[in-house]
């Protein structure tokens, strides 16, 4: 029978066995810098992309509005031909709308309202301006 082995003597104190703190601190700093770098890159990309998105959205809204005014202009001409209305006569919106899809005035996506004006004149959006005017051709 063998005698029990003596307990291992631990001469090293627990304080000196602790790992040093500095690698943890350096790790946290590196993680923080990486995080800030990634946030900065994302912010830079957003700063580049967002104006382009806004510009594209405005151009799309403007083109949609111009298309609506073309439809209104065509409906005015059809109504004038069908009802034998002379150039310069004021429009009857409810009769002109009969020549539009759904028999209703289209809506401007920017919130403008359409002014039909007289026969022979271009319709106008209160937000984008006249169909072929300068304010309708560019923001």
Q: Is 117 exposed, middle or buried (0-12, 13-18, 19+ CB in 10 A)?
A: middle
Of 119 and 125, nearer to Zn ion (C-beta) is: 125
Of 41 and 54, nearer to Zn ion (C-beta) is: 54
**Cβ within 8 Å of residue 57, ≥6 positions away:** none
Of 65 and 85, nearer to Zn ion (C-beta) is: 65
To the nearest whole angstrom, how small is the minimum distance from the Cβ of residue 87 to Zn ion?
25
Do residues 77 and 84 lie in contact, with contact meaning Cβ atoms separated by under 8 Å?
Answer: no
What residues make contact with Zn ion under the rule CB under 5 A? 65, 108, 112, 125, 127-128
To the nearest whole angstrom, how small is the minimum distance from the Cβ of residue 100 to Zn ion?
16
Of 32 and 107, nearer to Zn ion (C-beta) is: 107
- Distance (Å, rounded) from C-alpha 18 to C-alpha 21? 9
- Distance (Å, rounded) from C-alpha 40 to C-alpha 97? 53
To the nearest whole angstrom, how small is the minimum distance from the Cβ of residue 69 to Zn ion?
8
To the nearest whole angstrom, how small is the minimum distance from the Cβ of residue 77 to Zn ion?
20
- Distance (Å, rounded) from C-alpha 4 to C-alpha 12? 23
For residue 103, the 8-state DSSP code is G
């Amino acid at each position: 029978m063998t005698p029990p082995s003596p307990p291992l003597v631990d001469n090293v104190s627990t304080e000196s066995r602790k790992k040093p703190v500095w690698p943890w601190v350096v790790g946290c700093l590196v993680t923080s810098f990486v995080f800030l770098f990634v946030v900065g890159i994302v912010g830079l990309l957003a700063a580049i992309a967002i104006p382009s998105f806004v510009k594209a959205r405005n151009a799309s809204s403007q083109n949609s509005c111009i298309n609506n005014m073309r439809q209104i202009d065509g409906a005015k001409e059809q109504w004038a031909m069908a009802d034998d209305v002379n150039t310069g006569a004021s429009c009857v919106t409810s009769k002109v709308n009969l020549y539009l899809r759904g028999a209703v005035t289209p809506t401007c996506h920017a919130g403008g309202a359409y002014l039909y004006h007289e026969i022979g004149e271009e319709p106008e959006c209160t937000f984008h301006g006249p169909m072929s005017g300068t304010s309708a051709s560019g923001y």
